[in-house]
Amino acid sequence: MATDMHNNDMPNTSRRRFLTVASASTAAALFATPQLAADAFIDSAVTDGPMHPDAPSLPLNRTDTAVVFIDPQNDVLSENGRAWAAVSESVKENKTIENMERIFKAAKSHGFEVFISPHYFFPVDKGWKFNGPLEADEAASNLFARRGRLSLDGFAGSGADWLDRFKPYIDDGKTIVVSPHRVWGPQTNDLVLQLRKRRINKVILGGMLANMCVESHLRELLEQGFEVAIVKDATAGPRHPRWGDGYTAAIINYSFLAHAVLTTEETIKAMGRGTR
User: Using one digit for the tens of pLDDT, what is the confidence trace for 107-163?
Assistant: 999 999 999 999 999 888 888 889 787 677 777 777 898 999 999 999 999 999 999
Task: Give the pTM.
Answer: 0.79
Domains and CATH numbers, the chain: 58-273 (3.40.50.850)
Between 151 and 57, the more confident residue is 151
- As a whole-number percent, the residues of the chain with pLDDT over 90 amount to 69
Select the highest-mean-pLDDT range: 23-27, 45-49, 124-128, 156-160: 156-160
Q: What is the pLDDT of residues 180-215, one digit of tens each?
A: 999 999 999 999 999 999 999 999 999 999 999 999
Concatenate the DSSP letters of all residues of 40-102 into one string. Answer: HHHHHHHHH-SS-TTPPP----TTTEEEEEE--BHHHHSTTSTTHHHHHHHHHHHTHHHHHHH
| Mean pLDDT value across residues 24-32 | 40
- Point out the least confidently predicted range of 5-14, 225-234, 260-269: 5-14
Q: What pLDDT, on the 0 to 100 scale, is given for residue 126?
A: 82
- CA separation, residue 124 to residues 23, 80, 128, 143 (Å): 57, 25, 8, 14
pLDDT at 239 over 50: yes
pLDDT at 49 over 90: no
Q: What pLDDT, on the 0 to 100 scale, is given for residue 29?
A: 41
Q: What is the DSSP letter of 38?
A: H
At 245, the pLDDT band (50, 70, 90 cuts) reads very high
Query: Cα 101 to the chain's mean position, in Å?
Result: 17
Q: What pLDDT, on the 0 to 100 scale, is given for residue 220?
A: 98
Judge whether 244 and 238 are in contact, CB under 8 Å.
Answer: no
Q: What is the pLDDT of residues 62-114, one digit of tens each?
A: 999 999 999 999 999 999 999 999 999 999 999 999 999 999 999 999 999 99
Mean pLDDT of all residues belonging to the chain: 84
pLDDT at 30 over 50: no
At 20, the pLDDT band (50, 70, 90 cuts) reads very low
Phi, psi of 68 (to 5 degrees): -125, 115
| Mean pLDDT value across residues 256-260 | 97
